[in-house]
Amino acid sequence: MVASEILLQKSAAQVGVLVPNESRAAYVEMLREMDRMCQHVIDTPDYYPNNYVAKYPRKNVRWSSGEDNEYRGWAWRANVQGADDGLLAGKTLCLKDNICLAGVPLTFGTKALEDYIPTIDAELVKRALDQGATILGKATCESFSHGPGSITSFYGPVQNPHADGFSTGGSSSGCGALIGGGLVDMAMGGDQGGSVRIPTFGLISYTGVLSSEWGVDSVGPMTRTVEDCALLLEAVAGYDGIDDRMLGAPVHPPSYHADLIQARSSGITGLRIGVLKEGFTNPHLDPRVDALVRQAIKDLGSLGAEVVEVSAPFKLGGGLTRVGRQAGSRGLAVTEMYEKLLPWTQNKLDLAGRYVINTCLESEYGWANYPLAYPRAINQSRALRDQIDELLADVDVLVMPTVTQPARRHAPLEGGPVTWQSWSRESGLCRRY
């Protein structure tokens, strides 16, 4: 790329200004200097953390299909044996297919990203292997890790192990199926809007995980039991020195598993449970979900917990996503993936699907017409966090439904209003908090 007057005017138009005729030559020369600087950066070898391929070899890497892919939960199969002992010794683990596992293809749930094999291991992968986990492969995720259902991955619909033809949720759809079907003990899923209940934003390193939006990206454990969840969280949590989402996170997190075992003997007498009022006001909340959660709260009260209603009236909507634009973050950018994906073309967008197209359109529309909305939302999110912290100063835990609906039948992929309605109903309630 060489700067020219035409490119100058194009850039100026995107900003919404005109460059006077008498100044154009000077600006073009400055842009050409920028060309030289940017090309120098691009020509410089990238810098990634070392992977663990030599330490923990990747064996039997294979595409999973047919009978080898029950529920369509697998993207790629592999066998990576971790350390001989540790918190996760004897446990099997799958990874959502937006998490880098060196030597194993990553699809991101879309044909728009072809032939990408990471050369890096996500930080959470290294920690899980060092704690003895056996990684069995990559779990199917929705296209671009985007969408609350189980229908947008190019592998086809992910099936609910308890009800064929029904959703497992999303976008960590394959993780849900493999966990629910008992094919793995644990999974690492991701959350940009509802598929994993975030333990605490920034508690687990996002280094080596493909980003959707820096301000909401989170990754966390998915398991069938609370004990396994505590084990996996303890194994992977803690500051990694790279991910700036983790500002303030402890290097050595609490002993979640040991604390859980101790709590079994002490019981929950005296535990203060705050029932978050706003968690029950969503218009899409199914009465059956409402009743089930309220009964669980009542049961906790009968076991000795003190139950009180609390309120955090501040509400936030979804974030703006700019895929491939990591401005403002000093964490690891997985540039080798962007080299495969960018620039966007019509064919790539068509392959990505309408959920992703909608997000791209919303993003560009939002930045063009409401440039203050995103920075204002970031500031407002701190107000919401402060409200929640204030509540947690008075209660030990907060309780609310985490999803609005039971598992729904798969919506048609190109189903018009039905599909969009499914999006709004299936998104987790906790995305607001």
- Catalogue the active-site residues: 96, 171, 195
Q: What is the bridge-based pairing of β-strands 272-276 and 306-310?
A: parallel
Angstrom distance (rounded) from CA 274 to CA 398: 5
- On the question of a cis peptide bond just before residue 343, with omega within 30 degrees of 0, the verdict is yes
8 A C-beta contact, residue 64 and residue 70: no
Sign of CA dihedral 146, 153, 335, 120: positive
8 A C-beta contact, residue 210 and residue 334: yes
DSSP-assigned letters across all residues of 222-249? EESSHHHHHHHHHHHBS--SS-GGGTT-
Give the DSSP H/E element, type plus range, for residue 135: strand 134-139
8 A C-beta contact, residue 77 and residue 103: no
> Tokens standing for 170?
């999303």
Bridge partner residues of 163 (DSSP): 160
Which letter does DSSP use for residue 204 in this model?
B
Number of H helices, E strands in the chain: 12, 9
8 A C-beta contact, residue 200 and residue 250: no
